[in-house]
Structure 1
Amino acid sequence: MPIVEAHILEGYGPDDKKRLTSALTDAIRFVVPAPDEAITVMLHEYPPENYARGGEQRTPAPALPDPAKLVRAYLDAMEARDLETARSMLAPEFSMTFPGTGPMTTLAELLDWAKDRYRSVAKTYEAVEAFHSEGAAVVYTRGTLSGEWPDGTPFSGIRFIDRFAIRDGRITQQDVWNDIAEVRAQ
């Protein structure tokens, strides 16, 4: 029965602490073959005035946004064509790659590329999965696409997977895989 104790400064909210204990439980499960209910995670909180590093008192950094929620908010903004909101979630070094494209760095490039592919598109999500890898939060979304071809004919049930990388609470990369070309060719 693994027991994990973590020491944090006071100041994180209940949702942030729940995310932290869940992430620590997941980290243990990557290595130890124990069911979730056998893993105990305890957070010990300390007031900032009881902590110093380098001889200076420190305050806790704000929690990063939940990467899965950030990605869903971005995709929802894109679907609603709220481009200003979507753009605000992107890092300056953002790039995206869609089927058949090289890297694009602006939402305007994406919209220009997509205009001949479909009139509208919406996503139905089967899963949104987040984890940490090599200094970035990584989020995969998968499900099906529906919408209209440029001539107005409806389509649905097209598989997709999107992979996002997030650093410092902003999306740095989006890679997209889907079967639109294969379905359209039929």
Structure 2
Amino acid sequence: MPNDPISDAKTTVERYLELSMVPDPEGAARHVAPDFRMIFTGGRRFSSPADSAAFNARRYKWVKKRFLRTDAAIDDETGEVRVYNTGYLYGEWPDGTPFETNRYIDIFVLKDGLIRETQVWNDSAEILLHRAGLAEAPL
């Protein structure tokens, strides 16, 4: 029976995210292509799961993802599969304050079974602005 590239890509992304949450950047790196690139909220660019783990270690005391959905679509011309994983971040800010309703969406591009690119979007910056009294409008 042939592989289903959409199902395989969704499984790869969820496994990558699970390893990233441990955090196990070396394990997560087994799912990325050699030319992998990651673009975080704010346009921060990273080239490995270890880079994002180091960034998250400074921003959060700890953080995990509660998956709501993982959707995917294949580009028949390129063979790339785009995977969209959305849900909520939960954890603690560096001062120990808990959070649990921080929305996120991660967008992945996979080719030949490996993650080539991911874009990471979440509400963390807006929440931090609000906590600092700098938000332009209430959350």
1:74 and 1:81, CA in 2 relative to 1: closer, same or farther beyond 3 A?
same
Matched, 1:164 2:120: no
Q: Which has the higher contact order (CA 8 A, sep 6+)?
A: 2
Matched, 1:87 2:13: no
- Structure 1 residue 162: deviation in Å? 0.4
- What's the RMSD between the two structures over aligned residues? 1.8
Q: Secondary structure at the match of 2:96?
A: coil
**Alignment correspondent of 1:69:** 11
TM-score, scaled relative to structure 1: 0.64
Can you give the 5+ residue segments of structure 1 that lack an aligned partner in the other structure?
1-11, 24-64
Identity %: 36
Length, aligned pairs only: 128
Structure with higher Rg: it is: 1
**Alignment correspondent of 1:135:** 79
Distance 2:118 2:103 in 1: 17
Matched, 1:112 2:112: no
- Structure 1 residue 125: deviation in Å? 1.4
- Structure 1 residue 183: deviation in Å? 1.2
Deviating 4+ runs (over 2 angstroms): 111-116
Pick from 98, 110, 128: which aligns with 2:40? 98
TM-score, scaled relative to structure 2: 0.84
**Alignment correspondent of 1:144:** 88
Larger displacement relative to structure 2 (158-167 or 125-134): 125-134
Distance 1:115 1:75 in 2: 16
- Structure 1 residue 153: deviation in Å? 1.1
